[in-house]
Amino acid sequence: MGKDRHFLDQLLSRMTLEEKVGQLSLYSADVKLAGAETVNPALTFKAPESRFDDIRAGRVTGVFNGYGEDYVRSLQKIAVEQSRLGIPLIFGADVIHGFRTAFPVPLAEAASFEPELAERVAETAAAEAAAEGLHWTFAPGADLCRDARWGRVVESYGEDVLVASRFAAARVRGFQGGDLSDPRRLMATVKHFAAYGAAEAGLDYNTAEISRTTLIDHYLPPYRAAVDAGAGAVMTAFNDVDGVPASANRELLTGLLRDRWGFEGFVVSDYNSDFETVAHGLADSPREAARLCFLAGLDMCMQSGLYADHLPGLVASGEVEEGAVDRAVLRVLRAKQALGLFENPYRGLGRAFDPAPARALAREAARRCQVLLKNADGVLPLKAGMRVALIGPFAREHQHLNGAWAIFAANGLSVNLEEGFLAALGPDALVVEPGCGIAEPIAGGLDDAAAAARSADVVLLALGEGQHMSGESRSRSDIGLPPAQLDLARAVKQAGKPVVTLLRTGRPLAIPELAELSDALLVTWFLGAETGAAVADVVLGRAAPSGRLPMSFPRRVGQAPIYYARKPTGRPPQHPPGPFTARYIDVEPTPLYPFGYGLGYGRVEYGPTQVSVAELGWSETLSVSCELVETAGAAIEEVVQLYIRDVAASRIRPVRELKDFRKVAIAGGARVVVAFELQTADLRFAGEDGALIVEPGAFDVWVAPHAQAGVPARFVLLDRHGAEPPGVG
């Protein structure tokens, strides 16, 4: 039963309108989550008993953020055994970066520049969550973002369209695998469609003021990549796009997603975002909100109950056709069918999950996404036998290890820095002092910290953001280090010992003074379950840092949004900044650390970029290569990056665009040639009417270690001479 379309048509024919609308209504689980945080506003929370009545009456399609054998089994039993048609519930959840085992936050994962690592992590997270009865995750987020003030950059893959697209697609593959009915898999949701990351001024939920071509060239492709990878669901965004809130945006949900991209899964609102079209000023009543959202192409309401309240009336009045409701319901039922829920509504429950390999993978991932930004005099890795002072508000705490949206993983189960270094060094070589709180001084803290620093050979300074400083609704207008922490860094520096800063953060920070005070600067993000162990691995040289920045680090918040793929101006920035050029009079226009930047323990020198031909035929492939030499005699994993610039085009193109990247292992002293292929289709962009085009002419191309490095080679794309354009459109 349940395998064929016929079965679903039959089921549909037996459903009342109320039952149909029930399949379009998703509600929060009303249970307390493991993480102490509240992830959503309390809106329509009901007493659990009345939710049972709703399930029994077929008014609920599924619940989210509740899990576990007893919970899932008890609710599913009501749905399957006591509701009239026995349609199983779907259990969704925000499995964003791990389930019980917390993995690095997505921004950190992006810093690995290894989408295949993200795929393995997603697969593991899916298996752990599915064993507790979950079927569906609200991930991956595919929101491109360029403004570090926005708190949800922590959930993103950063500023680059190619990086975000590859990671979003990899995570869909990891969560879903090849067969959704496999009880170790979760159905994925691409969110938040669309342009949520373009929130003006970095203010969460704010309008996305964005040109059509920037939307097409930069913001849409990551969602598209995830859809093409087979994601089963799409979640709408809270923001408006060009004056129409995403949840009621017919052009986005139907014109683009369904008609042009061919998406066949279902579209779910974000938490109450459908209802919020009233507050947006689009709909003049909740009923009108329901009508607009439904007609735009929104299939399912999350938490608002909007369709439950208004869709039957809209059908009765003829404003909504019942056939359209049927199509939405079928999309939801097909997802439940693909998950195998009609055959086995209790899928996953009782399946054993071994957490040990998950912890090992968490440690591997956490090692591979740390980014070394500075390493004066080769202070890292630490020499054996050094006495270490671990100082700072993050040295000995258990509340800020996992980062935002690790709502099923207790921070207390994660290894903190002190534990990680104690295990590696033993108690005699380690002294630990907090020095200050995250935002406030501690009485006597600076003196104690300075004394600890003097007693040691090297200081590890654990500074940065608390878990509550990035994430949803956590935008910041100042992305510097809290003053109390900067005072600590200054006091510790006075001790005269080398200072290695371990920077915990969910976003790029503006930290020029801290960078100055630090001999070494290692970005450690929020790394999850194995934080302390993985940071110790890198600091002590058991693993080398191989992460690179997925977002530019500004010098000052006033530069935001700052990103490498900016459009050229007619008066480009100069170094040093000159009058009548694009400059600030009080800060250099460049980032403190550019996109793609990061060091290893070896050192790589890049030879000139070589192109296989100076003139490229329309349907030919260009090979772009570069010789790399490791010159420090230490093995390194280098993230080699391929950039282009379209020198002149009918719509001006960014000063650089990343077109490929690869992490390459190079032995100490070795020489390797790295080659990339470039096709005509890689050169496409949105033309005047929004259609993708490629224009012949000159292109610059770089193989480089980051977005500001290298000397370009040039090639000319020849006219097509009657040949068919490559796969664009």
Q: Give the footprint of ligand BGC on this chain (CB under 6 A).
A: 39-40, 65, 94, 138, 191, 270-271, 472
CB of 239 to ligand BGC, least distance (A): 11
471 vs 554 by CB, closer to ligand BGC: 471
Residue type, 93: A
Helix, coil or strand: residue 241: strand
CA distance 291 to 320: 7
| Distance of closest approach, residue 404 Cβ to ligand BGC, in angstroms | 10
Minimum distance from residue 551 beta carbon to ligand BGC (Å): 19
- CA 612 to chain centroid, in Å, comes to 35
- Annotated catalytic residue 259: no
Q: How far is the CB of 429 from ligand BGC (least distance, A)?
A: 43
Q: Are 148 and 478 in contact (CB under 8 A)?
A: no
The separation between CA 487 and the C-alpha centre of its own chain, rounded to angstroms, equals: 32
- Least distance to ligand BGC, CB of residue 247, Å: 12
CB nearer ligand BGC, residue 191 or residue 656: 191
337/324 Cα distance (integer angstroms):
20
Specify the residue, 66 or 464, whose C-beta has the smaller distance to ligand BGC: 66
Nearest in space to 640 (alpha carbons), one of 508, 546, 541, 553:
546
- From 147, 240, 270, 519, the catalytic residue: 270
Q: Are 226 and 140 in contact (CB under 8 A)?
A: yes
In the complex, minimum distance from the CB of residue 262 to ligand BGC, in angstroms, rounded to a whole number: 24
CA-CA distance, 703 to 613, in Å (whole number)? Answer: 16
Q: For 415-519, where are the E strands, in sequence order?
A: 430-433, 458-464, 499-504
Nearest residue to ligand BGC, using CB? 138
Residue at token pair 């010098």: 555
In the bound state with ligand BGC, the residue whose beta carbon lies nearer, of 65 and 83, is 65
Smallest distance from ligand BGC to CB 192, Å: 6
Distance CA 162, CA 167 (A): 9
Nearer to ligand BGC (CB atom), residue 123 or residue 270: 270
How far lies 486's CA from each of 177, 437, 446, in Å? 46, 11, 11
DSSP class of residue 396 equals S
Nearer to ligand BGC by Cβ, of 101 and 189: the residue is: 189
Nearest to 418 by CA among 371, 376, 452, 380: 452
Cβ(174)–Cβ(122) below 8 Å: yes
CB of 60 to ligand BGC, least distance (A): 16
Lookup result for tokens 């930047």: 597
CA atoms of 147 and 156, how far apart (whole Å): 11
Minimum distance from residue 83 beta carbon to ligand BGC (Å): 24
CA distance 159 to 153: 9
Q: How many CB atoms lie within 10 A of CB 698?
A: 12
Pick between residue 65 and residue 416 the one whose CB is nearest to ligand BGC. 65
State which residue, 15 or 139, has the beta carbon closest to ligand BGC: 139
Report the amino acid identity of residue 169: A
| Structural tokens at position 68 | 């576990």
CB atoms within 10 A of CB 200: 14
- Min CB(151)–ligand BGC separation in Å: 11
Question: What DSSP letter does each residue of 565-604 carry, written as one string?
Answer: TPPPPSS---SS--TTSS--SSS-SS-SB-TT--B-SS-E
Nearer to ligand BGC, 275 or 676 (CB): 275
**CA-to-CA dists, residue 690 to 197, 211, 389, 569, angstroms:** 21, 11, 57, 22
CB neighbours of 685 closer than 8 A, spacing ≥ 6?
213, 217, 646, 649, 651, 653, 692, 693, 694
Based on CB atoms, which residue is closest to ligand BGC, 305 or 600? 305
Phi, psi dihedrals of residue 348, rounded to the nearest 5°: 90, -35
Neighbours of 638 (CB within 10 A): 24
List residues with catalytic annotation.
270
